[in-house]
Chain A
Amino acid sequence: MRSKRILWFLVMIGLGTVLGLVYGWIINPVDYVNASPERLRSDYKTDYVLMVAEIYQSDGDLEQAARRLVSLDDLTPAQSVVDALANARALEYSSADLATMTRLVEALQDRPTPEADGEVP
């Protein structure tokens, strides 16, 4: 009889754990308000890249554009723009916006890397 009670005790612990997880993950999850840009949804990331491209088109500061792209994800700046460009096409961005982003990715791909210059990062 004692083993039966221990079994039920463990069952209730399991049930409580499941209920706690359901509550903590679904019903009342941690309120996440301090996200970083890498957590942004892909369409917002794409628009962020478009903003970088627009600013680059205006001021021509490629290094600043690259720095702004670094915070977006773990990819290289050029790769970030390539990914965003693909997403922009899927989202049917205007041809002018696609051209702006294309100019940025071309500039980033032509940009000499610090290693190529013999600089120590």
Chain B
Amino acid sequence: MNDYWDGEEDEEEIVPIEEQTRPTRRARRSREGQGNWYLLTGLLLGLGLGLLIAWVISPVQYVDTGPSSLSAVYKDEQRRMVALAYNADRNLTRARERIRLVDGEQAVHALASQAQRMLAENQPAQEARALAVLAADLSRAPEQNPTQAVAAGGSTATLAPAPESTSLAGETAEAEPSATLALAAVQTPTTPPPTPTPTQTRTPRPTFTPPATATPRRILDAPFTLKNRREVCDGSIPAGMLSIEVSGEDGNPLPGVRILVTWQDGTDEFYTGLAPEISPGFADFQMTTGILYSLEVGDASEPLDGLKSSSTCGWQLDFTQQNDS
């Protein structure tokens, strides 16, 4: 151990070369080889200690995060809140901005999936329906541009520099990328409140203010009609399977549309959009042989009766929304 701290700089007794024994010369060469390794050792030890503190003992804890950084449970709750609020105020522009903060461009799929999950877990059907309705309306209604939003309802969306994220560990860090407020109508810079602790300032982020706009009639209020019904026996649809495709007035697939299947001893309720890899407007249902089924799409449609399972064929059912304007 002592040799570790004794380098070539140490003073040594000068011994004539001819008097040096072989072991003495070897020990000296060994010490010269050590060089300044102790410096590197210290640096590495310090780095390890620093990372241990920064990542384990006292990691950065964001206190000004956005909805996208919430855990899955709270994201579900946030989506539920957005959908229920939309159910209450019918403000689609506002709901779109809110849900974007949670799921970005995947909002429609996330809403439809959560609606399905809630039904499967026997959670309140009314809340699942609110999620599905919002998914459907978001996928159908075109986005308004800022001028439309202002004209419609006098939006007061504000972009203001927000205080920077402050970590509990005394460091400053950006909690998430800047929130996008595509519909911001007014940009009013305001001064962030003074912060008592010295913090590092980064790019200001917009402050979220929900836009207030008039919203058109809900998409799912219009009825759906059966456009195409055919029996498929080539194996592309499993025997006894109902393959349902729902599209809007414009022909685009419509997710989040409620499908209600009833039979003598029961009912099943589900929504389109659970399999977006097939189609956002797709849903399916497996029938049992010997039972007659009735199927209803949306809330204002006539039920389709007399559906019966076959041992060799499946059914393809295409529904489209009626243009009642």
Minimum-distance CB pairs A-B, first 4: A20-B50, A16-B46, A24-B54, A12-B42
Q: How large is the interface on A (under 10, 10 to 19, 20 to 34, 35 or more residues)?
A: 35 or more
User: Would A26 and B171 count as touching, CB distance under 8 A?
Assistant: yes
B209 neighbours in A (Cβ, 8 Å)? 43, 47, 91-93
User: Would B50 and A24 count as touching, CB distance under 8 A?
Assistant: yes
- Report Cα–Cα, A39/B74, bound state, in Å: 12
Within 8 A of B (CB), among A12-61: 12-26, 29-30, 32-37, 39-44, 47-48, 50-52, 54-55, 57-59
User: Would A20 and B54 count as touching, CB distance under 8 A?
Assistant: yes
B221 within 8 Å of A by Cβ? no
User: Would B173 and A92 count as touching, CB distance under 8 A?
Assistant: no
Number of cross-chain contacts by CB at 8 Å? 195
- Report Cα–Cα, A55/B156, bound state, in Å: 21
User: Would B98 and A51 count as touching, CB distance under 8 A?
Assistant: yes
Report B85 CB to chain A, min CB distance, Å.
4
Within 8 A of A (CB), among B80-134: 81-82, 84-85, 87-89, 98, 101
B62 within 8 Å of A by Cβ? yes
Which B residues are closer than 8 A to A by beta carbons? 2, 5-7, 9-11, 38-55, 59-67, 69-72, 74, 77-78, 81-82, 84-85, 87-89, 98, 101, 154, 156, 158, 160, 162, 167, 169, 171, 173, 175, 188, 190, 207-210, 212
A34 partner, pick from B48, B71, B171, beta carbons under 8 A: B71
B85 partner, pick from A32, A33, A54, A71, beta carbons under 8 A: A54
A111 neighbours in B (Cβ, 8 Å)? none
Interface string of A74-92 (1 = CB under 8 A from B): 0000000000000000111
